Amino acid sequence: MAIITDPNFYFLSVPAVLIYGIGKGGLGGALGIIAVPLMAFAVSPLQAAAILLPILCVMDVFAVRYHYKNADYKVIKKMLPGALVGVVIAGVYINVVPQAALKLTIGVLSLWFCAQYIGSMLTNRTSVAKPNNTAGATMWGAVSGFSSTTIHAGGGPASIYLLPLKLEKVTLIATMAVFFALLNVAKLVPYALSGEFDSTNVLTALVLMPLAPLGVSMGVWLLHRVSQTRIYQLCYLFLFLSGAKLSYDGLLAII
Protein backbone atom coordinates (compact mmCIF):
# COMPACT_ATOMS: atom_id res chain seq x y z
CA MET A 1 0.00 0.00 0.00
CA ALA A 2 1.29 3.46 -0.94
CA ILE A 3 0.02 6.99 -1.28
CA ILE A 4 0.62 9.24 -4.26
CA THR A 5 4.03 10.87 -3.78
CA ASP A 6 4.17 13.17 -6.82
CA PRO A 7 4.64 16.73 -5.44
CA ASN A 8 2.81 18.15 -8.47
CA PHE A 9 -0.30 16.25 -7.38
CA TYR A 10 -0.30 17.93 -3.97
CA PHE A 11 0.58 21.32 -5.45
CA LEU A 12 -2.71 21.08 -7.36
CA SER A 13 -4.79 19.07 -4.90
CA VAL A 14 -4.28 21.12 -1.73
CA PRO A 15 -5.77 24.34 -3.20
CA ALA A 16 -8.44 22.29 -5.01
CA VAL A 17 -9.64 20.70 -1.76
CA LEU A 18 -9.52 24.01 0.14
CA ILE A 19 -11.49 25.81 -2.59
CA TYR A 20 -14.11 23.06 -2.57
CA GLY A 21 -14.39 23.33 1.21
CA ILE A 22 -14.72 27.10 1.06
CA GLY A 23 -17.56 26.70 -1.42
CA LYS A 24 -19.34 24.19 0.77
CA GLY A 25 -18.86 26.31 3.86
CA GLY A 26 -20.29 29.56 2.65
CA LEU A 27 -19.68 30.71 -0.93
CA GLY A 28 -21.83 28.21 -2.79
CA GLY A 29 -21.21 24.61 -3.89
CA ALA A 30 -20.53 25.69 -7.49
CA LEU A 31 -17.16 27.05 -6.36
CA GLY A 32 -15.85 23.48 -6.14
CA ILE A 33 -16.29 23.04 -9.88
CA ILE A 34 -12.56 23.68 -10.32
CA ALA A 35 -11.39 20.77 -8.12
CA VAL A 36 -11.48 17.73 -10.45
CA PRO A 37 -10.23 19.58 -13.57
CA LEU A 38 -7.35 20.97 -11.52
CA MET A 39 -6.39 17.61 -10.00
CA ALA A 40 -6.76 15.93 -13.41
CA PHE A 41 -3.54 17.62 -14.52
CA ALA A 42 -1.65 15.26 -12.19
CA VAL A 43 -3.76 12.05 -12.25
CA SER A 44 -6.57 10.63 -14.38
CA PRO A 45 -9.95 12.39 -14.05
CA LEU A 46 -11.58 9.28 -12.59
CA GLN A 47 -8.81 8.84 -10.01
CA ALA A 48 -9.02 12.52 -9.09
CA ALA A 49 -12.77 12.24 -8.57
CA ALA A 50 -12.40 9.04 -6.54
CA ILE A 51 -9.78 10.58 -4.23
CA LEU A 52 -11.92 13.67 -3.77
CA LEU A 53 -15.22 11.90 -2.97
CA PRO A 54 -14.40 10.65 0.58
CA ILE A 55 -13.04 14.12 1.36
CA LEU A 56 -16.30 15.66 0.16
CA CYS A 57 -18.25 13.34 2.44
CA VAL A 58 -16.22 14.60 5.41
CA MET A 59 -16.81 18.19 4.30
CA ASP A 60 -20.52 17.41 4.14
CA VAL A 61 -20.55 16.47 7.82
CA PHE A 62 -19.21 19.89 8.77
CA ALA A 63 -21.25 21.81 6.19
CA VAL A 64 -24.52 20.11 7.19
CA ARG A 65 -23.71 20.69 10.85
CA TYR A 66 -23.45 24.41 10.15
CA HIS A 67 -26.41 24.71 7.79
CA TYR A 68 -29.01 21.96 8.25
CA LYS A 69 -31.43 24.13 10.25
CA ASN A 70 -31.78 26.62 7.41
CA ALA A 71 -32.26 24.18 4.50
CA ASP A 72 -35.48 24.07 2.47
CA TYR A 73 -36.30 20.37 2.63
CA LYS A 74 -39.32 20.67 0.32
CA VAL A 75 -37.00 21.76 -2.48
CA ILE A 76 -34.55 18.95 -1.69
CA LYS A 77 -37.34 16.38 -1.72
CA LYS A 78 -38.37 17.43 -5.24
CA MET A 79 -34.82 17.51 -6.65
CA LEU A 80 -33.51 14.28 -5.14
CA PRO A 81 -35.30 11.65 -7.32
CA GLY A 82 -34.02 13.14 -10.55
CA ALA A 83 -30.57 13.58 -9.03
CA LEU A 84 -30.38 9.89 -8.12
CA VAL A 85 -31.30 8.97 -11.69
CA GLY A 86 -28.44 11.20 -12.85
CA VAL A 87 -26.05 9.42 -10.47
CA VAL A 88 -27.04 6.02 -11.91
CA ILE A 89 -26.58 7.18 -15.52
CA ALA A 90 -23.20 8.74 -14.71
CA GLY A 91 -22.15 5.63 -12.79
CA VAL A 92 -22.69 3.52 -15.92
CA TYR A 93 -20.96 6.14 -18.05
CA ILE A 94 -17.73 6.36 -16.05
CA ASN A 95 -17.44 2.58 -16.01
CA VAL A 96 -17.81 2.04 -19.77
CA VAL A 97 -16.10 4.98 -21.50
CA PRO A 98 -12.32 5.14 -21.99
CA GLN A 99 -10.23 7.66 -20.06
CA ALA A 100 -9.79 9.88 -23.13
CA ALA A 101 -13.56 10.20 -23.53
CA LEU A 102 -13.98 10.90 -19.81
CA LYS A 103 -11.30 13.59 -20.00
CA LEU A 104 -13.10 15.14 -22.98
CA THR A 105 -16.42 14.96 -21.10
CA ILE A 106 -14.97 16.77 -18.10
CA GLY A 107 -13.33 19.36 -20.34
CA VAL A 108 -16.55 20.04 -22.26
CA LEU A 109 -18.59 20.24 -19.04
CA SER A 110 -16.06 22.70 -17.64
CA LEU A 111 -16.28 24.92 -20.72
CA TRP A 112 -20.08 24.70 -20.67
CA PHE A 113 -20.17 25.90 -17.07
CA CYS A 114 -17.83 28.77 -18.03
CA ALA A 115 -20.06 29.76 -20.96
CA GLN A 116 -23.10 29.63 -18.71
CA TYR A 117 -21.41 31.86 -16.14
CA ILE A 118 -20.16 34.36 -18.72
CA GLY A 119 -23.61 34.49 -20.32
CA SER A 120 -25.24 35.34 -17.01
CA MET A 121 -22.63 38.05 -16.40
CA LEU A 122 -23.07 39.63 -19.85
CA THR A 123 -26.86 39.62 -19.84
CA ASN A 124 -26.98 40.73 -16.20
CA ARG A 125 -30.46 39.27 -15.94
CA THR A 126 -32.38 39.16 -12.69
CA SER A 127 -34.36 35.96 -12.37
CA VAL A 128 -38.05 36.02 -11.64
CA ALA A 129 -39.17 33.71 -8.87
CA LYS A 130 -40.74 30.52 -10.19
CA PRO A 131 -42.81 27.92 -8.42
CA ASN A 132 -41.05 24.88 -7.02
CA ASN A 133 -42.32 22.68 -9.86
CA THR A 134 -41.62 18.97 -10.03
CA ALA A 135 -40.65 18.89 -13.73
CA GLY A 136 -37.94 21.50 -13.35
CA ALA A 137 -36.71 19.94 -10.13
CA THR A 138 -36.47 16.51 -11.76
CA MET A 139 -34.73 17.68 -14.93
CA TRP A 140 -32.12 19.91 -13.30
CA GLY A 141 -31.73 17.44 -10.47
CA ALA A 142 -30.81 14.76 -13.03
CA VAL A 143 -28.30 17.02 -14.80
CA SER A 144 -26.86 17.96 -11.43
CA GLY A 145 -26.59 14.31 -10.41
CA PHE A 146 -24.76 13.42 -13.64
CA SER A 147 -22.28 16.31 -13.54
CA SER A 148 -21.78 15.85 -9.81
CA THR A 149 -20.87 12.19 -10.31
CA THR A 150 -18.52 12.73 -13.26
CA ILE A 151 -16.82 15.94 -12.16
CA HIS A 152 -18.11 16.64 -8.60
CA ALA A 153 -19.64 19.84 -9.97
CA GLY A 154 -23.39 19.63 -9.71
CA GLY A 155 -23.73 23.12 -8.29
CA GLY A 156 -24.13 24.80 -11.69
CA PRO A 157 -27.14 22.79 -12.91
CA ALA A 158 -28.67 22.84 -9.43
CA SER A 159 -28.34 26.63 -9.38
CA ILE A 160 -30.26 26.94 -12.65
CA TYR A 161 -33.25 25.54 -10.81
CA LEU A 162 -32.61 26.98 -7.36
CA LEU A 163 -31.73 30.60 -8.10
CA PRO A 164 -35.09 31.54 -9.69
CA LEU A 165 -36.77 30.38 -6.48
CA LYS A 166 -35.31 33.49 -4.86
CA LEU A 167 -34.33 31.71 -1.66
CA GLU A 168 -32.57 33.76 0.99
CA LYS A 169 -28.76 33.52 0.71
CA VAL A 170 -28.37 31.48 3.88
CA THR A 171 -31.29 29.19 2.90
CA LEU A 172 -29.80 28.66 -0.57
CA ILE A 173 -26.37 27.71 0.79
CA ALA A 174 -27.95 25.42 3.40
CA THR A 175 -30.24 23.72 0.87
CA MET A 176 -27.32 23.01 -1.46
CA ALA A 177 -25.21 21.73 1.45
CA VAL A 178 -27.81 19.16 2.50
CA PHE A 179 -28.73 18.22 -1.09
CA PHE A 180 -25.14 17.48 -2.11
CA ALA A 181 -24.41 15.68 1.14
CA LEU A 182 -27.15 13.19 0.25
CA LEU A 183 -25.93 13.02 -3.34
CA ASN A 184 -22.32 12.33 -2.32
CA VAL A 185 -23.41 9.36 -0.21
CA ALA A 186 -25.23 7.95 -3.25
CA LYS A 187 -22.13 8.50 -5.42
CA LEU A 188 -20.09 6.18 -3.21
CA VAL A 189 -21.83 3.22 -4.85
CA PRO A 190 -20.77 3.76 -8.50
CA TYR A 191 -17.24 4.70 -7.47
CA ALA A 192 -16.95 1.58 -5.33
CA LEU A 193 -18.20 -0.51 -8.26
CA SER A 194 -15.63 1.11 -10.55
CA GLY A 195 -12.82 -0.23 -8.33
CA GLU A 196 -11.37 3.26 -7.78
CA PHE A 197 -11.43 2.97 -3.99
CA ASP A 198 -8.14 1.07 -3.90
CA SER A 199 -5.55 1.45 -1.16
CA THR A 200 -3.58 4.17 -3.00
CA ASN A 201 -6.60 6.40 -3.56
CA VAL A 202 -8.05 5.85 -0.09
CA LEU A 203 -4.76 6.54 1.69
CA THR A 204 -4.16 9.62 -0.46
CA ALA A 205 -7.65 10.85 0.41
CA LEU A 206 -6.84 10.36 4.11
CA VAL A 207 -3.70 12.49 3.75
CA LEU A 208 -5.78 15.33 2.27
CA MET A 209 -8.69 14.80 4.69
CA PRO A 210 -7.56 17.35 7.35
CA LEU A 211 -8.07 20.08 4.75
CA ALA A 212 -11.81 19.31 4.67
CA PRO A 213 -12.90 20.95 7.95
CA LEU A 214 -10.36 23.74 7.40
CA GLY A 215 -11.84 24.62 4.01
CA VAL A 216 -15.44 24.51 5.28
CA SER A 217 -14.55 26.68 8.28
CA MET A 218 -12.86 29.17 5.97
CA GLY A 219 -15.99 29.29 3.84
CA VAL A 220 -18.23 29.94 6.84
CA TRP A 221 -15.90 32.72 8.02
CA LEU A 222 -15.69 34.30 4.55
CA LEU A 223 -19.47 34.15 3.95
CA HIS A 224 -20.08 37.76 4.96
CA ARG A 225 -16.54 39.13 4.55
CA VAL A 226 -15.46 38.82 0.91
CA SER A 227 -16.73 39.59 -2.56
CA GLN A 228 -18.27 36.36 -3.80
CA THR A 229 -18.26 37.74 -7.36
CA ARG A 230 -14.48 38.25 -7.43
CA ILE A 231 -13.76 34.79 -6.09
CA TYR A 232 -16.05 33.20 -8.67
CA GLN A 233 -14.46 35.19 -11.49
CA LEU A 234 -11.02 33.91 -10.54
CA CYS A 235 -12.20 30.31 -10.21
CA TYR A 236 -13.98 30.38 -13.55
CA LEU A 237 -10.84 31.71 -15.21
CA PHE A 238 -8.91 28.68 -13.93
CA LEU A 239 -11.84 26.45 -14.89
CA PHE A 240 -11.76 27.75 -18.46
CA LEU A 241 -8.02 27.12 -18.78
CA SER A 242 -8.37 23.63 -17.27
CA GLY A 243 -11.41 22.78 -19.40
CA ALA A 244 -9.69 23.88 -22.60
CA LYS A 245 -6.60 21.77 -21.82
CA LEU A 246 -8.63 18.68 -20.84
CA SER A 247 -10.81 19.00 -23.95
CA TYR A 248 -7.74 19.31 -26.18
CA ASP A 249 -5.99 16.33 -24.57
CA GLY A 250 -9.10 14.17 -24.68
CA LEU A 251 -9.90 15.02 -28.30
CA LEU A 252 -6.29 14.48 -29.32
CA ALA A 253 -6.23 11.03 -27.70
CA ILE A 254 -9.51 10.01 -29.37
CA ILE A 255 -8.43 11.21 -32.81
User: What's the confidence (pLDDT) of residue 129?
Assistant: 45
Exposed/middle/buried for residue 92 (C-beta within 10 Å: 0-12, 13-18, 19+): exposed
Burial profile 164-178: b = 16 or more Cβ within 10 angstroms, e = fewer: bbebeeebbbbbbbb
In a domain, 122, yes or no: yes
Fill in the amino acid letter for 164: P
* Amino acid identity, position 34: I
Q: Supply the Cα-derived Rg of the chain in whole angstroms.
A: 17
Residue 2 belongs to some domain of the structure? no
Examine residue 211 and state whether it is found in any structural domain, yes or no.
yes
Q: Establish if 74 belongs to a structural domain.
A: yes
Give, in order, the Cα–Cα distances in Å from 8 to each of 27, 34, 202, 208, 230: 27, 16, 18, 14, 27
Q: What is the dihedral of CA 114, 115, 117, 121, to 10 degrees?
A: 130
Q: Is residue 1 part of a domain?
A: no
Note down the domain range covering 141: 7-254
Asked if 34 and 229 touch (Cβ cutoff 8 Å), the reply is: no
pLDDT along the chain (255 residues), means of 10: 85 89 68 78 87 90 84 93 94 83 78 79 58 80 88 77 78 86 94 90 93 82 68 69 77 78
Find all residues with CB under 8 Å of 84, minimum gap 6, and list them.
145, 183, 186
pLDDT number for residue 128 = 46
Q: Would you state the pLDDT for residue 124?
A: 63
Q: Output the pLDDT for position 67.
A: 79
Residue 90 CA: distances (Å) to CA of 41, 170, 186, 191, 243: 22, 30, 12, 10, 19
- 215 lies in some domain: yes
Q: Does 115 map to a domain?
A: yes
CA distance 172 to 161: 11
Total domain count, the chain:
1
